[in-house]
Amino acid sequence: MKSNERETIAVIGLGASGDAAARLALATGARVHVTDTSSEDAVAARGAALRDLGAEVRLGGHALERIAAASTVVVSPGIPPTAPVLTALRARGVGWVSEPEFASRFIQSPLTIVTGTNGKTTTAALSAHLLREAGVDVALGGNIGGSLGPPASSVAASRPAADRIVLELSSFQLADIRDLTPDVGVMTNLGVDHMDRYAKVEDYHRDKRRLFDAGDADTTWVLNGDDRAVLDMARGAQGSRLTFSLETSAAPGAWLDGDELTVDTGGGPRRVARTADVRLVGRHNLANALAALLAAAASGATLDTARRGLRSFAPLPHRLEPVGTVDRVRWINDSKATNVAAAAGALRSLDGPVVVLVGGTDKGEDFGDLVKAMKGRTRAAVAFGAAGPRAAAEMAGRGIPVERVDGAFEDVVEAGRRLARPGDTLLLAPACSSFDMFENYEARGAAFRALASVSGRASR
């Protein structure tokens, strides 16, 4: 990396993304100022490590003058646009970029960006897996989570650089991009999410649209042909496009032909795998598989190894993850279903009666679509957490048997276990974020997985 000693980088937010951005900036020779309103143990530990590397670190508050004087301000995705520090910078006419945008300054490899309301993590991870099976040296990162891949800045700092980089990006990260340009861009679907951060759904969609604004004439778009909102959003974007569909043939693109996953990117239809080769649970994951196949093909990979890659790709943690069978009840962990659309999709993907656990931090979404998905599928629901009272009222008011549990997560799961019958599925699909009871959705899913294990041992 070239030295940039005279540039000063201010990084707001010292989570994983902020830490990675600060380390990348230090590696370029920049002067680095890092700031966070928190001084909790994890933040303090990151701050101490960065000080040792030469960064100036301020915790427990912001030094506005110091931030405003920086050449570049990098904002972590967890900082909402209404945060006082950003409001103050905006009033001064000071702009900022997202952490992936900053990272892109140092990325020379071809870049695949995957976004969407749901399915983006699975699609990004599967795309990278298919590329590896095809012999491509690929790095995976972005919003995908520490257990699956690092922040974009960590990917940018890695040497030697990978031949291809796949990044999953959220709307929060896309909001503040400027020059980050994908040569392959994937939009899995478009629904409603993060209404606890956005005033209206149009604001959320505006940030997603930034991906299409970032493309150029050389970008290949991989689009959900069954989602009118995606197709409408992509209208007018520079570049070529491929579509994937579960409903119709989609040439050029990918589709289901009976039980065959079929791809045609210009050389005629090719049946590359069967639905049975996809180990992921749920019909929506067939759409994710089609998108991943197209993303890999658009990246220059042959599909000769696609069937093997689909067979060897295991379900990701907390995404319709089977975690055990207790008293002939299948337990499935979909803790990552943090919005109504994801939880409804999980329900629609399952056969047989389901007992579903719904609740957590209330994101302000209408539970109506979730109730529709419950009809004819759900034996009962258990409502819990901060959103529990509203969720229970909406479900009960629309004819869904529901039990509200105002207690520990162990009590929530025990209620679900009690309501389930042999042959049922006990599904954790909260449709809400986790912050009322857990640090994140991973911790919530891990708790559910652990309870499945304990319950399985106790039932023997």
What is the per-residue pLDDT across 308-321, written as a single tens digit (0 to 9) for each? 999 999 988 999 99
Q: Is the pLDDT of residue 456 over 90?
A: no
What is the per-residue pLDDT across 115-128, written as a single tens digit (0 to 9) for each? 999 999 999 999 99
Q: Are residues 137 and 185 in the same domain?
A: yes
What is the per-residue pLDDT across 25-42, written as a single tens digit (0 to 9) for each? 999 999 999 999 999 999
Q: Are residues 160 and 70 in the same domain?
A: no
Number of structural domains, the chain?
Answer: 3
Where residue 54 falls (left for φ over 0; alpha for ψ -120 to 50; beta otherwise) is: left
Q: Give the CATH number of the domain where residue 68 resides.
A: 3.40.50.720
Indicate whether 1 belongs to any domain: no
* Average pLDDT for the chain: 94
- Residue range of the domain that includes 86: 8-95
Which residues, 6+ apart, have CB-to-CB distance to 15 below 8 Å? 43, 76, 78
Q: Are residues 165 and 256 in the same domain?
A: yes
Give the mean pLDDT of 409-431. Answer: 98
Last residue of a domain, one of 74, 95, 116: 95
What is the per-residue pLDDT across 175-232, written as a single tens digit (0 to 9) for each? 999 889 999 999 999 988 886 788 899 999 999 999 999 999 999 999 999 999 999 9
What is the per-residue pLDDT across 100-115, written as a single tens digit (0 to 9) for each? 999 999 999 999 999 9
Q: Are residues 342 and 286 in the same domain?
A: no
1: confidence class by pLDDT, cuts 50, 70, 90: very low
Indicate whether 176 belongs to any domain: yes
Q: Are residues 138 and 121 in the same domain?
A: yes
Q: Is the pLDDT of residue 378 over 80?
A: yes
Q: Is the pLDDT of residue 88 over 80?
A: yes
What pLDDT, on the 0 to 100 scale, is given for residue 146?
67
What pLDDT, on the 0 to 100 scale, is given for residue 3?
42
Last residue of a domain, one of 264, 279, 312: 312
Q: Are residues 173 and 69 in the same domain?
A: no
Indicate whether 218 belongs to any domain: yes
Q: Are residues 244 and 327 in the same domain?
A: no
Indicate whether 152 belongs to any domain: yes
Q: Are residues 48 and 91 in the same domain?
A: yes
What pLDDT, on the 0 to 100 scale, is given for residue 459?
67
What pLDDT, on the 0 to 100 scale, is given for residue 192?
84
Last residue of a domain, one of 95, 126, 153: 95
Q: Are residues 194 and 332 in the same domain?
A: no
Give the mean pLDDT of 419-441. Answer: 96
Indicate whether 141 belongs to any domain: yes
What pLDDT, on the 0 to 100 scale, is given for residue 351?
84
Q: Are residues 151 and 81 in the same domain?
A: no
Indicate whether 2 belongs to any domain: no
